[in-house]
Amino acid sequence: MEKEDILAWLRTTDENELIKLWQMADQVRQQNVGQEVHLRGLIEISNICVRKCGYCGLNIENTAIGRYRMTEDEIVECAHEAASFGYGTVVMQAGEDHGIATEWMTGLIQRIKRETSLAVTLSLGERTDEEYQTWFAAGADRYLLRFETSNRTLYDRIHPPLAGQPSDRIALLRRLKQIGYETGSGVMIGIPGQTYDDLANDILMFRELDLDMIGVGPYIPHQATFLGNPELTTYADKTVQVPNSEEMTYKTIALSRLVCPRANIPSTTALATVNTESGRELGLSRGANIVMPNVTPRKYRALYEIYPSKACIDETASDCRSCMSRRILSIGRTIGTGRGDSPNRAKHRE
Ligand code: 5AD
Ligand code: FES
């Protein structure tokens, strides 16, 4: 698949053509990663963040939200709950919280690996090379770090660097792979100022990075951010600006599956937010093979407001578990067992 093909798919509005795209993605998913849907327990361990991202509600300048950091015991309890639900992985996600000290995190990873047989995925943002190495040595298996957009100018606009520290997530992703992590990334769809050409380049970048995991979702404006007023930054020309639509999200999921056939691809919470009724199922039917049920304690959920009206805010871990199982079984798929390691990585190990 070349860039022109990707662009043609991103621009098409022909319903019959799109049905073909969904079918191709579904077949390639079935042939390469099978019919199992793996469940990853998501623990949002801290909403504290030092960064000023123009899209994210957790940015340091948003003083309207209460901040929290879970204790080690709280997190380990969530990990045990995830294991008791049969999930094979926990994903520990946080803002860029420098209060999450290297040693503290190391101890936490070691404890989860000792007390459970879970795969451990980290999603803690841009940290030092030493931290990435130390946490891998402590037993962390996977790292998620979205590059958000491959357009460098747009990236710098929406993701201001910390003073004196240029931010190059693409370089970090290459490094994470080299250290030995199963590596995941992704982008937002419909960022104000994102063109069709940019999104096509993003999809090609997934292939270039040979990602093991690819997570994408629609950009959802948050009032407490500087992109929150999209009129200021969106291209008025609708033939240039990518819409942050549900359909564009399915197209991106489907095309990601076609360019990275063996990657693990989640049907994300952002998609469930724009279509509560059937977003998850449609994502799974158009290329995705993963869901990430939230296992964060209910009292913290509303505080992890990356974007408004996020799905699963009022639910408990157990609610999300039954919701996900029901949705997976309703489309004739099965619930994955085991850790659900990336078949893409297995290919490299052969
Ligand atoms: N809308 C949609 N997704 C968002 N993210 C952050 N802010 C938003 C938003 N307003 C995504 C980013 C980040 C991930 C954790 O959530 O891609 O990497
Ligand atoms: Fe949380 Fe459906 S997965 S409510």
Give pLDDT tens digits for 120-135. 999 999 999 999 999 9
Ligand 2 atom with the shortest distance to the CA of 269: 3
Question: How far does the centroid of ligand 1 lie from the alpha carbon of residue 44, in Å?
Answer: 13
Question: How far does the centroid of ligand 1 lie from the alpha carbon of residue 350, in Å?
Answer: 34
- Residue of 268, 312, 328 best suited for mutating to test ligand 2, as the one with most atoms within 8 Å of CB: 312
Question: How far does the centroid of ligand 1 lie from the alpha carbon of residue 221, in Å?
Answer: 10
- Low-confidence spans in the chain with pLDDT less than 50: 350
Q: Whose CA is nearest to atom 8 of ligand 1?
A: 56
Q: Which of 297, 340, 299, 336 is nearest to 320 (CA)?
A: 297
CA distance linking residue 176 with residue 11, whole number of Å = 33
Question: How far does the centroid of ligand 1 lie from the alpha carbon of residue 188, in Å?
Answer: 7
Residue 135, pLDDT score: 98
3-349: CATH class: alpha beta
CA distance linking residue 255 with residue 307, whole number of Å = 25
| Cα–chain center distance at 343 | 18
Ligand 2 atom with the shortest distance to the CA of 293: 3
CA distance linking residue 214 with residue 265, whole number of Å = 5
Is residue 203 within 6 Å of ligand 1 at its C-beta?
A: no
Is residue 148 within 6 Å of ligand 1 at its C-beta?
A: yes
Residue 350, pLDDT score: 46
Give the number of whichever ligand sits closest to the CA of residue 53. 1
Ligand 1 atom with the shortest distance to the CA of 93: 15
Residue 230, pLDDT score: 64
Asked if 96 contacts 125 with a C-beta cutoff of 8 angstroms, the reply is yes
Q: Whose CA is nearest to atom 16 of ligand 1?
A: 306
> Phi/psi zone of residue 237: left (φ > 0), alpha (ψ -120 to 50 degrees), beta?
beta
Give the number of whichever ligand sits closest to the CA of residue 319. 2
End-to-end CA distance of the chain: 25
CA distance linking residue 308 with residue 184, whole number of Å = 24
- Residue of 310, 320, 329, 335 best suited for mutating to test ligand 2, as the one with most atoms within 8 Å of CB: 320
Is residue 328 within 6 Å of ligand 2 at its C-beta?
A: no
Is residue 324 within 6 Å of ligand 2 at its C-beta?
A: yes
Question: How far does the centroid of ligand 1 lie from the alpha carbon of residue 220, in Å?
Answer: 8
Q: Whose CA is nearest to atom 6 of ligand 1?
A: 56
